[in-house]
Structure 1
C-alpha cells in the first residue's frame, strides 16, 4: 500500500489543532493518521501566529497561469534564437564584399 500525500486546508488544520488541545495529541494523531511531529508543528504555528499561522506558506499557482508562463518562456527562447540568427547574418553580410561576380 503506497502512501498518498494529503492536503489540509487552514480550516482543517485549525479544527485538528483545536481537537488535539481538547483530546490530546496522541489520540488525534492516530484518528487522522498524522505524525505527532506534524501535529506538534501545526500547534506551534497556531500558538505563535494564531489562525493565520496555519495557512500555506507558499502561494498556490493556478494551472492556467503556469501554462501561460511556460508558453511565455518558450516564445522568449524563440525570439532570442531569431535575434541571434539575424545578428550572425548581418555580421556575415558586413564581411562579404558585394560586387559583380566573375564568371
Structure 2
C-alpha cells in the first residue's frame, strides 16, 4: 500500500517558508526537521515571494477563473465589433 500524502496548513507552510527566508536555517535543515521535500519548500518560497511582489505592485490578486472571465469578456467585445464591421461592409458593398 502506498504512502499517504502529508497535508500542510497555510500556517505550517508559512512557518517553514519564514524559517528559510530568515536564514535561521537552511532549506535542508528545515526539510529534515519537518519531513518536507526540499523541492516543495522551494516551490512554497517562490509562491510566497510571487504573491508578495504582486501585493507590492498594488495589483489585486485574481483567480484563474477571474482572469479567464476577463479575457472572455474582452474576446466577446472584439468579436461583436468585428461582426458589426462585417455587417457595415456588406451594406456598403450593396450600394
TM-score, with structure 2 as normaliser:
0.46
Higher relative contact order (CA 8 A, sep 6+): 1
The structure with the larger Rg is 1
